[in-house]
Structure 1
Amino acid sequence: MSPILSVRNLSKNFGAIEAVADVSFDLAQGELLALIGPNGAGKSTCFNMLMGQLKPSAGSVKLKGREITGCKPRQIWRMGVGRTFQITATYASMTVVENVQMALISHHKRLYSPFPFAHRLYRAEALALLDTVGMADQAERHCAVLAYGDLKRLELAVALAHEPMLLLMDEPTAGMAPRERIALMQLTADILAQKGISVLFTEHDMDVVFAHSHRIMVLNRGRLIADGTVEQIRNDPKVQEVYLGGGTLFKPAGESADA
């Protein structure tokens, strides 16, 4: 089966600064792939090129074999690529269900049609999506009063409204408490597995990365230095050097901190 996303020799220069250099990888259908690295490694730049916010200096990005390099973000979104952001972007003055309805209105191309009764459109679909992410009981609450973890779950429902084949998630658990992070990523992994959606996500919390990733890539100074399974990345000397200056990056569950 051909990959959902195929990236070859992707590079981005800002003047003399090489932010991303010769990055290549494939993402399979239903795969949960983590892209990790220290601050300034080039993760956000890479994401912005994949989604069309930045034009690559070189390289190719293909979605199911179709070249999307240079396409605008809205074109890429229409092709089936969704994205969530490190800082949530919801309509604070609207209710939870209205936020999802707006996403569905856009998905069904009704934004430029007269809709004096927009609050009635796609309400059942919106409620079903909220039920999927465990937010149905908060459908009528305004986003301005939601806890941050609930905003993250709402953002996931909004992303799913577009029925994406690929979801790019930029630090999906940023700003959340440790227990909330694990719960959100478990929910995300379960939903995406059910729907067969491929995911590329960045994350700084190694517990989240190792618990839920099928595969992990590591960027450092714009270059991929490792690509492998959880065990391979955990025990990779180059990765340990980048994160901790040597030593163990992550201790398996059940092993004491002073073992």
Structure 2
Amino acid sequence: MTPVLEARHLTRHFGAIRAVDDVSFALAPGELLALIGPNGAGKSTCFNMAMGQLAPSSGQVLLEGRDITGWPARRIWRAGVGRTFQITATYASMRVIENVQMACLSHHRRTFSLIPRAHRLYRDEAMALLETVGMGAQAERHAAILAYGDLKRLELAMALAHAPRLLLMDEPTAGMAPGERAALMELVAGIVAERGTAVLFTEHDMDVVFGHAQRIMVMNRGQIIADGTPQAIRGDARVREVYLGGGAITAGRGADG
């Protein structure tokens, strides 16, 4: 089976600093993969190269076998990759449903229709996406007054607007209460199971990582030092030493950056 996402020998230098050093991995359809590591491990750099926000110094990024190395982020989005951000990217002045309609307009290449009838386009499609993420009842509220957890759900609905085959989630539960974190990741896991979407996410909350990821990759100093099931990672001596200072990996522990 062709991987949805494949990184081959990715390297990224910032002057004399090698932020990512010969990283290779593959992500299968319907797989929920967490990328974790201590501050400065190279997670964000690796993540941003996969989305086209940062060009690698060397190596390749493949999407379903197609080389997308160096493509701009918008072109990668068009190719079937969704993205959510650590800090939510929504339109605060618009209603919830209008935010999702905007994503639908972009997907259908109808941004030229913004004036004067955009509010009438793709309402049913937008409402279906909001129902998927449990936000249907808040469709007419303004995004500016939403609780942070609901903003995260809204952003997820927007990311799903073009039915991505790959979803990249940067700190999806950052800033959320513990109950909201679990609910959001259960929602993501359900989408993975129902649609076969592959998901790569970075996360600091170990409850989220070990409670929901099917597979975990651990980075340190620009390299992947472990890759396996949550059970295997929990028992990996090198992970405990490098990532958590030699202690046991327990719920509620995390790392910065």
| TM-score range for the pair, normalised by the shorter chain length | over 0.9
Amino acid at match of 1:116: P
Partner of 2:255 in structure 1?
none
Distance in 2, matches of 1:94 and 1:169, equals 23
Amino acid of the residue matched to residue 62 of structure 1?
Answer: L
Match of 1:62 in 2: 62
Greater mean deviation of Cα atoms: 167-176 or 190-199: 190-199
1:1-259 matches, within 5 Å, as: 1-113=1-113, 115-250=115-250
Letter in 2 for 1:167: L
- Once the two structures are TM-superposed, the CA of residue 207 in structure 1 deviates from its matched residue by 0.7
Question: Please, which runs of 5 or more residues in structure 2 have no aligned partner?
Answer: 252-257
Partner-residue secondary structure (3-state), 2:70 = coil
| In structure 2, distance between residues paired with 1:113 and 1:190 | 33
TM (norm. structure 1) is 0.95
| Residues 21-52 of structure 1, C-alpha deviations (whole Å, 9 max, x = no match) | 00000100000000000111111111111111
Superposition deviation, residue 177 in structure 1: 1.0
Indicate the percent of aligned positions where both proteins have the same amino acid.
Answer: 72
Point out the more displaced range, 35-44 or 112-121: 112-121
Could you report, residue by residue, the CA deviation over 1:146-187 in whole angstroms, capped at 9, with x for unpaired residues? 000000000000000011000000000001111111111011
**Is the contact between residue 220 and residue 243 of structure 2 (CA under 8 Å) also seen in structure 1?**
no
The whole-number CA distance in structure 2 between the counterparts of 1:183 and 1:114 is 34
For residue 134 of structure 1, give the secondary structure of its aligned residue in structure 2: coil
Regions of 4+ moved over 4 Å: none
Counterpart AA for 1:117: R
1:203 aligned partner, one-letter code? E
Cα–Cα, structure 1 residues 242 and 189, in superposed 2: closer, same or farther, change >3 Å?
Answer: same
Alpha-carbon deviations, 1:189-215, whole Å to 9, x = none? 112211110000000001100111110
SS of the counterpart of 2:105?
A: helix
2:68 maps to a residue whose letter is: I
Query: The residue matched to 2:112 in structure 1 has which SS?
Result: coil
Q: TM-score, normalised by structure 2?
A: 0.96
Equivalent position of 1:254 in the other structure: none
Q: Which amino acid aligns with 2:126?
A: A
SS at match of 2:111: coil
Mapped contact 1:10–1:59 kept (Cα < 8 A) = yes
Structure 1, unmatched stretches of 5+, are: 252-259
**CA root-mean-square deviation:** 1.0
Work out whether residues 36 and 216 of structure 1, in 8 Å CA contact, stay in contact via their aligned partners in 2. yes
Report the CA distance shift for 1:101/1:114 in structure 2 as closer, same or farther (over 3 A): closer
1:247 Cα deviation from its structure 2 partner = 2.3
Judge conservation of contact 2:34–2:213 (CA < 8 Å) in 1.
Answer: yes
Q: 1:115 Cα deviation (Å)?
A: 4.1
Provide the secondary structure at the position in 1 that maps to 2:231: helix
Name the aligned partner's letter for residue 119 of structure 2: H
Indicate if the aligned counterparts of 1:243 and 1:249 stay in contact, CA closer than 8 A.
Answer: no
- Count of matched residue positions in the alignment of Structure 1 and Structure 2: 251
Whole-angstrom distance in 2 between the partners of 1:40 and 1:243: 11
Secondary structure of 1:168's partner?
strand
